[in-house]
Amino acid sequence: MDFAINQEVINWLLEGDPSIKWQTLRNLCSVPESEIEKERSKIESEGWGKRLLSFQDPSGTWNNGLYTPKWTSTTYTLLLLRRLGIKPNEKCRKGCQLLLDNGLYKDGGINLWKTKKVSETCVTGMVFGILSYFQFDDERLEKIFQYLVENQMSDGGWNCQYPYGATHASFHTTLLVLEALYEYSKFTTLKKDQIEKMQQDAHEFLLKHRLFRSHRTGKVVDSKMLRLSFPPRWRYNILTSLDYFQAVNHPYDERLTDAIEIIRKKEKNSKWTLQEKHQGKTWFEMERAGTPSRWNTLRALRVLKWWEKF
C-alpha cells in the first residue's frame, strides 16, 4: 500500500504546540537538524512544556506527590514531559533526584509505598525511563537496571505481579520497561549486548501476541488496547506499542500487520481521533476526546512511514 502524507495535515501539525511541531519536523519533514533542535528548545519556554514546568513545587515535586495524585504527581508530570520531548534540564533533574532518593528500595527497584515489601516493576520501568531520558547521572541507576534483569520473566516480559506468583508477563509493564531500556541505551554505552538481549526477548513476547492478541486463542486481550489515547500514562495501547517499534527501527515482522491494519482503518480524513482519556485529574487539557488529535495523527503517520519502508 503506497504511503503518502497529506501536506495539509503536515501544515495542521506544524500549527500545534512546539512539542508536536519539533517531532513533526524530525519524523515527517526533510529539514536541517538545526531547525528541528531550534523548535525543540521552545518546549521549555512555550506552550505545554512551559506550563507543566510552572506547576513544579519549590521542593522539586509536582502537586506535592511522587506517584499520586494521578495524573499530576512528579512521576506522571515528568513522564509527560519526556513524551513532549523536552530537553533535559535542571528543573526536571530536581524531580528525578526526589524520585530516586525516595523511591529506590532495598530490592533495587522503585517502591514509593513503603508499606509494600517489594518494588513495583511497572513504576520502576517508568521511573527508570525518566531518569535515563533526563540523563540523571547516578550510580544507583545500575541497581535499577539489575532489578529489571532479575525480574524479566521466562516469556520475555515483565509483570508487577511476578513476585506474587504471576507466570505470564503484562503488556503494560513490558512496554514501560522496553521504553526505559531504549532511553537507557541512549544514555549509556555500557551493557549494550545485555540490553539488546533483554529487548529482543521482550519484543518476542509482544510479537508472539501480535501486540494485542492472546497467544492461545487469538482473541483480543483487552479492547482498550485498540483505543487510541494520549498520553497513555501507564496503560498499553497498540499505537504506543507501534510507536516504540518504529523508534527502535525494528525490522519487518509479519506479526505487526494486524496492529498496523487497525491503525490504518482508524484514519478519518487523513487524521486520527483521540478516542479516550484515562480518568484522573490533569494539569490542563491538551486535546479533547472525540476530536482529531495531533498527537495520534503524528504518531500514526510516523509509524506508517516507518512501515512503508518494508
Residues of the chain with pLDDT > 70: what percent? Answer: 99
The CATH number of domain 7-308, selected from 2.60.40, 1.10.150, 3.40.710, 1.50.10: 1.50.10
Residue 2 has pLDDT above 80, yes or no: no
What are the tens digits of pLDDT across the range 74-112? 999 999 999 999 999 999 999 999 999 999 999 999 999
Which sequence spans correspond to the domains of the chain?
7-308
Helix runs in the chain, H state only: 7-14, 18-28, 33-40, 47-54, 74-84, 90-103, 121-133, 141-150, 171-187, 192-208, 238-247, 257-265, 294-308
What are the tens digits of pLDDT across the range 185-236? 999 988 999 999 999 999 999 999 999 999 999 999 999 999 999 999 999 9
- Cα(first)–Cα(last) distance of the chain, in Å? 10
What is the per-residue pLDDT for 1?
Answer: 45
Q: Whole-angstrom Cα distance, residue 59 to residue 120? A: 25
- Residues 248-265 have a mean pLDDT of 98
What are the tens digits of pLDDT across the range 104-141? 999 999 999 979 999 999 999 999 999 999 999 999 99
Prior bond to 32 cis, omega within 30? no
Cα 33–Cα 241–Cα 218 angle in degrees, nearest 5: 155
Q: Whole-angstrom Cα distance, residue 10 to residue 23? A: 11
